[in-house]
Amino acid sequence: MAKQRTVFVCSECGNETLNWAGKCPSCGAWNTLKEIAVDSKAKNKNARTSVAESSSSKPQRLSEISSSQDVRFSTGIDELNRVLGGGAVVGSLVLIGGAPGIGKSTILLQLCGEIGTSKKVLYVSGEESEHQLKMRAKRIGVENGEIFVLAETNMERILRSIDEISPDIVIVDSIQTVYLDHVESTPGSISQVRECTMALMRKTKANTFTTFIVGHVNKDGNIAGPKILEHMVDCVLYFEGEQNTTFRILRSAKNRYGSTNEIGVFEMNDRGLQCVDNPSEVLISGRPSNSPGTCVVGVMEGSRPILAEIQALVTPSGYNAAIRRANGIDYNRVTMLLAVLEKRGGLQVTSCDTYVNVVGGLFLDEPAADLATVLAIASSYKDQPLGDHFAALGEIGLSGEIRSIQNVNQRIAEIARLGFKECLIPFNSKLDIPEDKINNIDIIRVKNIREALKVCFK
pLDDT of the residue at 47: 40
pLDDT of the residue at 48: 38
For the chain, give the number of residues. 458
pLDDT of the residue at 43: 47
Please say whether the beta carbons of 170 and 204 come within 8 A: yes
Q: Output phi, psi for 407, to 5 deg.
A: 55, 35
pLDDT of the residue at 149: 93
pLDDT of the residue at 222: 62
Please provide the DSSP assignment of 228-286 as one string.
Answer: HHHHHSSEEEEEE--TTSSEEEEEEEEETTS-SS-EEEEEEETTEEEE-S-HHHHHTTT
3-state secondary structure of 77: coil
Instruction: Output the pTM of the full model.
Output: 0.74
User: Within 13 Å, how many C-alpha atoms sit on residue 422's CB side?
Assistant: 14
Distance CA 215, CA 194 (A): 12
- Residue 238: which residues within 8 A CB-CB, separation 6 or more? 96, 97, 98, 250, 251, 252, 253
pLDDT of the residue at 435: 55
Q: Which of 257, 211, 200 is nearest to 72 (CA)?
A: 257
H-run or E-run covering 113: helix 104-115
pLDDT of the residue at 49: 43
Taking only the tens of pLDDT, the chain with its 458 residues reads 455 677 887 776 667 788 888 888 877 878 878 777 665 544 444 443 443 344 456 788 888 777 655 588 999 999 999 999 889 999 999 999 888 888 899 999 999 999 988 899 999 999 888 999 999 898 888 888 899 999 999 999 999 999 999 999 999 998 989 999 888 778 887 778 888 999 999 999 989 899 999 988 765 656 655 567 888 899 999 888 766 677 888 988 899 988 887 888 898 888 889 998 888 888 888 888 889 999 999 998 877 889 999 999 999 988 888 999 999 999 999 999 999 999 999 999 988 999 999 987 788 989 999 999 999 999 999 999 998 999 999 999 999 999 999 989 889 989 988 889 999 999 998 887 765 556 678 999 999 999 999 999 87
Task: Point out which residues pair with 33 in neighbouring strands.
Answer: 10
Cα angle 185, 186, 191; round to 5: 50
Q: Which of 373, 388, 398 is nearest to 452 (CA)?
A: 373
Per-domain residue ranges for the chain?
Answer: 1-45, 70-277, 282-456
Distance CA 86, CA 70 (A): 13
Q: What is the CATH code of the structural domain delimited by 282-456?
A: 3.30.230.10
pLDDT of the residue at 287: 84
- Residue 119: which residues within 8 A CB-CB, separation 6 or more? 73, 146, 167, 168, 169
Q: Among the CATH numbers 3.40.50.300, 3.30.160.270, 3.40.50.720, 1.10.10.10, which is that of 70-277?
A: 3.40.50.300
User: Within 13 Å, how many C-alpha atoms sit on residue 242's CB side?
Assistant: 10
